[in-house]
Amino acid sequence: MKHTLIAWMRDKPGVLNRVSGMLRRRNFNIDSLQVSHSETPGISRMTFVVDGNERMVDQVISQMRKVVDVTRVEDISSKPSVVRELALIRVQTNAETRSDIVQMVNIYRGEVVDVALESMVVQIVGSEDRVDSLIELLNNFGIIEMVRTGRVAVVRGMTERKHRRSTAVWRARANGYENMDEERLTTGGV
């Protein structure tokens, strides 16, 4: 299963290297990784997607917490959250295909952000699935160039604690942990 994790870290030179180096040498399978500023000056925020079972994700989080510059790590996969990705796609066009493409982009609530005679640039923001499926469609017309960010995510503003507890209990049982401690339960089994 794919897990979305968020890590906050001190914005020090080389911190990304520390984290990515650790992930590489521990042989963790990372699907995407995205770093940016957070709301706190001096703290960067990393969103990354790990493909693996519960135990492996637990390991990623524990190892991540050992990196001195990492101040906090959270697994938000089981929480209601807003997850987005952005892609910019340059697609081949001509007089015949242009309107078809625009129509598709509109259905996907994307935007055409640049038009030339033989190509246009499409911007799409959405879940990974939505981005994937638009890309698949546009592939039929010929994609010249493409760039996409990794997954970024924030947790929805609801009664988080209650939710954390219930999902963590479920995950703990599914994972064979009978006696989860309170700390693990309330931090979402992390």
Partner 1 sequence: MTEANLDGQQASAAEESIPMTGAQMVWEAFVREGVKTVFGHPGGAILPTYDALASYEAAGKIHHVLVRHEQGAAHMADGYARATGRVGVCICTSGPAATNLVTGLATALMDSVPVVAVTGQVPTNLLGTDAFQESDVVGVTQPVTKHNYLVTDVSELPMILKEAFYIAREGRPGPVLIDICKDVQNATGEFRYDMTVDLPGFEPWPTVDMSKIQQAADLINQAERPLILAGHGIKLAGVSRELLEMVERAEIPVVTTLLGAGDIPETHPLSLGMGGMHGEAYANRAVQGCDVLIAMGMRFDDRITGSLDRFAKQAKIIHFELDKAEVGKNVVPDLPVIGNLGETLPALLSLIEQRKHPDWLAELNVWREDSGQTDIINYEVDELIPPYVIRQLWHSTKDTERGPAIIVTDVGQHQMWESQYFVHEFSGQLLTSGGLGTMGYALPAAIGAQMAHPDRLVWAVVGDGGFQMTLQELAVLKQERDLPVKIAIINNGFLGMVRQWQQLFYERRYVGTPIVAPDFVKLADAYGIPALAVRKPEDVSGAFKQALETPGPFLIDFRVKEELNVYPMVASGAAVDQMIRRPKPAVVQGFSGVEPSW
Give me the 67-96 binding string for partner 1, x by CB under 8 A, dash otherwise. xxxxxx------------------------
9, 50, 138, 153: which one binds partner 1 (CB under 8 A): 9
- Which x/- pattern over 12-51 shows residues binding partner 1 (rule: CB under 8 A)? -xx--xx--xx--x--------------------------
Nearer to partner 1, 17 or 159 (CB): 17
CB 108 within 8 A of CB 124: yes
Q: Is 165 in the site for partner 1 (CB under 8 A)?
A: no
Q: Which is nearer to partner 1, 71 or 92 (CB)?
A: 71
Which residue number, 55 or 156, has a Cβ lying nearer to partner 1? 55
Q: Contact 85/47 with Cβ under 8 angstroms?
A: no
# of chain residues touching partner 1 (CB under 8 A): 28
55 is a site residue for partner 1 (CB under 8 A): yes
Task: By CB under 8 A, name the binding residues for partner 1.
Answer: 9-10, 13-14, 17-18, 21-22, 25, 55, 58-59, 62-63, 65-72, 176, 178-179, 181-183
